[in-house]
Each structure stands twice: as structure tokens, then as C-alpha cells.
Structure 1
């Protein structure tokens, strides 16, 4: 088949205004970016945070995730937090609005259910109280680079195209957009094979008393029965989280792929568009199945689908150190540890069930500061699911609580870098660790 050459035009050169000059610029207001911005601001930095949506939280709100994962290390007898700091503060603030429930055990782990609308409220309050300058509905579209430093970011929003100049930049975009634009090295998944995304949703009028009596395994059996009866469910093992609001549940049960279980390319807009539409089709398929097969859902209906499909993996940025699955599963403790995690390696790959690889009960691993530093860039840090990690390690480190811990570390590291000519490699890691502990973070 003959290739058709893409038509092109020349975009005219133009001057654009510098609308902001800031000490620390955070790109992306998800779990990592939110905590990074507030941490840096509380250290006294001028901080600007840009976010593409009209609210903060990233996956926690735009996907309607419904449960904070990655907080605890779990044994048969105990549930102990290995993420504190900003995550703990968020939970305490949510309690003021009845927006969070007690930790709930499931499989070999535990998580904390929360209400997404309450989270938006709390996030707004915290950035406002801290004095973070925030720009909603704003996209980062290019970078201003000199040698190995990113001097600023070009943005677009309703005001048009402009530039924000910054001393230190934190890429918390989830996809590593800033580092990619700056020429940073990255891979996409495992040789281009990424984890399957999910469209998540909420249902109302659920008889939660009936539902609470069911085990996760029993729900899987009901889904499997539906498959046996001809319903084409792509996934039979998923998460159903009780919302703090009575008779409302969050569901993480869909699995979106191209035909033939070919993974979605999360960096291709046409594939993302397909994924959003396919995900919504799956939501209503699961609604019918839940109503027909699963006790407690007889009168339930979908009331909300996340504004965005849940992307688990895109760019994996090459950093000064790449966290590996061996590091995670052996519970390695790094000398330059800046965050901890105990979430299993959670693989959403081929097949109709999630594949879990568990770490030692009661133990945890650490994330080194080096994994937050992109190779060959001097004044840029990264936090969240785009840190330097292998495909397998990222399947553990990407969850929300661990992202918050990384964000808090990145925000304080940015503050320290300002006194080191913005060189993120020149900071004292010992001082970073002390400041994290002073701010109630958990470290070994």
C-alpha cells in the first residue's frame, strides 16, 4: 500500500508574552503534582501549578478512582502505614467533610475509600491556604531549553499562548510530557507494550449491606457466570469500593484494548479517543451484568463515569537510577530513600484477571532520590507514574499514595535546589530526608 505523504504548513514565527516568572513550576495537579506544589510552597518557594482540567487530583478525581492505594504494609494481624505526610493530611481533611472511610482489607492488601467530589474540595482548600498560584484549563505545549536546563514552559489556555519562566520544574504530568519535550530519554512500557487502561465509574442505589457480605472472589464468580452466559466482559476480577456516601460504590472493572487484546498506545490521540468511547460502552455492559447477576445491584444504576480513562502507564523516563522489580520485590532500602511503598506489582495485561505479585507481608521497599532525576537535565525533577522505573516496578510505584510521597519529596528537593544554582543533583539528600521527616513523612 502506497504511503500518503502528510501535508504540512509553516507556522508563522511570533513573539509571545512571559506571563509568569516563578521559582518552582509544577506541571500536572494529580496526586504527585498537588503534593509537590504544596510542599515547595510551604518551604517558602514561589510556586505555580498548571493543570489541564478544572480541578485537582488527576487519576483520583478525573478517573473517579475511589480508593487510596499504597498507604499500608499488611500482615494477617496488622495494617501499618508506610506513607504518611501529605497523604495523612489529606485523609484528616477529608474526615471533616465525611469524605473518607476507614481502611478496608482486600486480597493481601488494604486501601482507604474516599469521595471524589470531597477530594476536589479539599485540594482547592489546601492549595489556596498554602498560597500556590494555580492555572486551571492550561496545557504545557513546549519548553524553553538552554543547554541542559529547562528555563521555562510554553503554555496555552483561553488567554492564548504564553510562557512561564521557572528556576526548577517538576514534571508531574503522568506522561513525562515536559521531559519528553526537553529531549529526555524514555521508553514506552515494555518495548511498547503498556498496561491496559480502565474506564471507572460510580453507581448509586446499591444495597451495600448485601454487597458487603460478598467476597472479591464471589463477585469474580458472578462475573464469570455472566461470561459463560454470553456477556463479553473483558475482565472478571476487579475492584468495587464502597463510597463514604451511603449506597454509592466506585467500580474499577473495565479493561480497554484494541482488537485482539493489542494494548492502547496512550501517546496516540486517535487510540485514546477510541479507548474513551470503548470504555464507556464497557461501563454500561457491566451495569447490565451487575444488575442481573450481583446481589445488591438489582436497583443500581451508573451515575458518573470518570471524565478521563484511567491510564496506568505511558512514558517511563530514564533517570539517574531506574527502579527495578527486584528492588520492589526484595524490599530494597536505598541510602537516598525519599519515599516508601508496599503495593504489590499489579499487572493489567492480557487475560481477564489482574496479575498480582506480592511483596513480603509487613515489609516495604524505598524509592531513591535518583529515580526522580531525569538523565541529562539539571533543573528538572519528576514525580508520579512517569518516574524512572521498569515496566514491572512502575506497576507498583504508580499508585496514588506512593505518588503523593514522591511529590512531597520532589517539592522539598526543588526548594533545596534553589540554593544550589537550581542543580537538583547538588542538594544534600540527608537534608532532604530530614525535612521530609520534619513534615511527617515515613522513611526507614
Structure 2
């Protein structure tokens, strides 16, 4: 590859902060608000012009991972920040009651309302926010990341921080700081999706259609010659009347393999292919599914929905057995009852369910990347195996982990910024005061 030498230059340090949060998705906004409320000086950088990450940029459509479900009851195993967010959304009629489907339940929300509520929460808490800003490198001294080099319309600069929370989704800061990682399972990640919304849907006709029935419609379309890469469906009514959110596409490379979400040419291909599939599925829905006859695509996520990229190796690596056995850890900082939701090679989604009414816990050690002393990881890039990440990656769980990371960052400031030296009991005590559910 041809190269050139970039001239050396001085980079200004624009901020000295207690806590820097990289990424404003489910985990990042939860972490930033939590740390700021505890008295930390917090700065958050986000590549888009709004918070929410996958929830808003991909238009995820519903909060998943909040509940454990039995035949008799729907019980939350994620509270704290997630619960507060839902209460805020209710003010704007931007959220629906929990909806049962398969062996779980989720909560549909309005994307625009969520952007507004996220701005309110982050502003009220006093977090300093930089939108349209990317982290491009780190400044490391021994085993501590002292600063993050950023780029935006103002150019290139540095934010120095005592503790950094990597909520980038891809584990960018931890990787640049020297933490080991895997990309999925030997490079094989879960297939991404382009998500979209359709308007002019006759809600009265579709409200009773089951997932099995949707699958039957898609199977019929395949028999009739439509090349649909996926027949399993996530189709949810939204708070906007006549508008339905659809998670039905499945993006693969031309050779059928998963894309590498860390390569720009493959991401570019995925975005184009995803939009092609959106309109393919829209055509099928109008032709085969009652209630969609007059429906039209009104919104496509501004970013492909990436389910998995880097899995950062931490002090503990959560595995499939931990999830399915509902293991309870002494250093618990979050809980989850979400199944293993595998978007793999075939045209259906594979679900592996845990015991109804039960849940597993996530240990604090999964938030601590190896080889670094002052960085915490939060979100879908925490320390898990490929299989376990199919459960931990959902939004409600990421919010719970983010709340824990924000709290731990506050405690680390009193321990020479070393995230390993904090008191677990003190961390858990603060989380419970913040209404977090620890089982």
C-alpha cells in the first residue's frame, strides 16, 4: 500500500474532565447521566447529532431485555435508568405498555420522542456533550489511557480524562488502549439488519397477526420467487397510529458470509444492500399481508443495525453456560432474562430461552478490559463470548450496564482512577439507591 508521511503537529487539549464517555447509545447516555448526578465532571462524545445509538440511529423500535416472563406475570429485571427513561417518554405519549410475544415482552417507543427525552436527561444532569465527534486515537501512559484524540468540524484535539467509559459499541477505546479482543467467533459475527418503519398500515387488521403467521406469508412469497434472506420477523406497532416498525431484513456479503463491521467497504455494501432489502420486504408486505395494502416506507435507520463487532476481553468473560444456567455472581452489577437471540446463517432467527421467571447476572469484572487500569466498557462490547453476547447486547441490559459503569467511574476517582480497586459492596449499594435491580 502506498503511504505518505503526515507532518507532525501540536494538538490542543480542549477539556480536562473526570469522566469521558465515548458513545451516547443506551449504555453511554445511562453512564454519563449517572456519573454526572453523582458529582463527576462528565464529558460525552457522540458521532451522530443525537443520543440513543441503535435505539435512534437504527430505529430499533422497542426496548428489549427489561422483563422476565412467566404465564402469569411480566416482571422487570432492569429498572433504574431504563425505568426513568420510560416514565419520561410517557409524558409525551411516546411509549406503549409492555407487549408479550413469543416467550418474552418488549416496550415500543417513538424514536423522535426518545431523542427529545435523551436531550432533556443529558442537559439536566449537566453533562458536557460533543455531537458529530469521533474518537480516533488514545494517549496512553503505562496502563492508563490519559486522553482520547477526537476529530470534528473544529479539527483534531484531545480530551484528557481520569476515567474513560468505552460505550462505542465496537470497543474502539479499549482496543486502541491495548485490550485484547475477538471479532465475534473467529471473525463470524451475527448478521446485521436494516430497520425501517411503514405508515398507512391498517392496525385493526394486523394487531392479531402472530409471528408464525408473518413467517407463513414470507414463506409463501419465497415460494412465489421472492428472494427473501429472512422469514422470521420483528414487526411491532408503535405509539404513532398507523405506523409499524419492522426488523425483518438480514444483510450478508455477496458470498453469503457475515460482513466485517470494522471494514468500511463492507459497511458501505451493507448499507446499500440493506436499503434494497427494505423495499423488497415492503413490496412483499403490501402484496401478501392483510393491512399492509396501502402501506409505504416512511423511515429507514440512518445506520445499519450492527449486532456484534469487537468482544473486548475483560477480567471475566461471560459465557453461554452462565446465561442459560441463570448464574448469579457475587459482583453482580446488572441482570438480564433475554434469551440467546442468534441471527445466524439460516433464514430464521434462533432463540434459546432461559427458565421462565428466572434471570442471570452480569459481574462487574465483565466491564474491566484486560491490560488497562482506568477504562470501563459498557454496552454490546462488554466481555462475553459470541454466544453470550447474543443475550447481553439488547438495549435495556446495556442501560443497566451503563448505569453500573457510571457509578463505578465515580468510585474509581477515589482510588487513583483504578477501576479494579473500588469496593464492590459500595458499588452495589449506590446502584440499589439508584433503583437498579440486582436480583
TM-score normalised to the size of structure 1? 0.99
Q: Among 409, 420, 424, which residue is 1:414 paired with?
A: 409
Q: Among 27, 32, 36, which residue is 1:41 paired with?
A: 36
User: How far apart, in 1, do the equivalents of 2:375 and 2:119 lie?
Assistant: 25
Paired residues for 1:16-415 under 5 Å: 16-415=11-410
User: How far apart, in 1, do the equivalents of 2:300 and 2:293 lie?
Assistant: 19
Compute the displacement of 1:429 (Å).
Answer: 0.5
User: How far apart, in 2, do the equivalents of 1:372 and 1:109 lie?
Assistant: 26
User: How far apart, in 2, do the equivalents of 1:315 and 1:437 lie?
Assistant: 30
TM-score normalised to the size of structure 2? 1.00
User: How far apart, in 2, do the equivalents of 1:214 and 1:165 lie?
Assistant: 53
Matched, 1:13 2:15: no
Residue ranges of structure 2 left out of the alignment (5+ in a row)? none
User: How far apart, in 1, do the equivalents of 2:376 and 2:315 lie?
Assistant: 11
SS at match of 2:2: coil
Compute the displacement of 1:427 (Å).
Answer: 0.2
Tell me which residue corresponds to 1:431: 426
SS at match of 1:367: strand
User: How far apart, in 1, do the equivalents of 2:254 and 2:348 lie?
Assistant: 18
SS at match of 1:304: strand
Q: For each residue in 1:112-160, what CA deviation from the matched residue of structure 2 results, as whole angstroms up to 9, or x when unmatched?
A: 0001110000000000000000000000000000000000000000000
RMSD, aligned CA: 0.4
SS at match of 2:148: strand
User: How far apart, in 2, do the equivalents of 1:197 and 1:412 lie?
Assistant: 31
User: How far apart, in 2, do the equivalents of 1:239 and 1:358 lie?
Assistant: 17
Assess if the C-alpha contact under 8 Å between 2:178 and 2:371 holds in 1.
no
User: How far apart, in 2, do the equivalents of 1:213 and 1:28 lie?
Assistant: 38
User: How far apart, in 1, do the equivalents of 2:49 and 2:31 lie?
Assistant: 18
Compute the displacement of 1:184 (Å).
Answer: 1.1
Q: For each residue in 1:304-345, what CA deviation from the matched residue of structure 2 results, as whole angstroms up to 9, or x when unmatched?
A: 000000000000000000000100000000000000000000
Compute the displacement of 1:260 (Å).
Answer: 3.2
Tell me which residue corresponds to 1:3: none
Q: For each residue in 1:163-214, what CA deviation from the matched residue of structure 2 results, as whole angstroms up to 9, or x when unmatched?
A: 0000000000000000111111000001000000000000000001111121
Assess if the C-alpha contact under 8 Å between 2:178 and 2:372 holds in 1.
no
Worse overlay, 253-262 or 415-424: 253-262
User: How far apart, in 2, do the equivalents of 1:238 and 1:384 lie?
Assistant: 24
SS at match of 1:425: coil
User: How far apart, in 2, do the equivalents of 1:292 and 1:353 lie?
Assistant: 21
Q: For each residue in 1:209-260, what CA deviation from the matched residue of structure 2 results, as whole angstroms up to 9, or x when unmatched?
A: 1111211110110011000000001100110011101000110000000123
Assess if the C-alpha contact under 8 Å between 2:235 and 2:246 holds in 1.
yes
Residue ranges of structure 1 left out of the alignment (5+ in a row)? 1-5
Tell me which residue corresponds to 2:435: 440
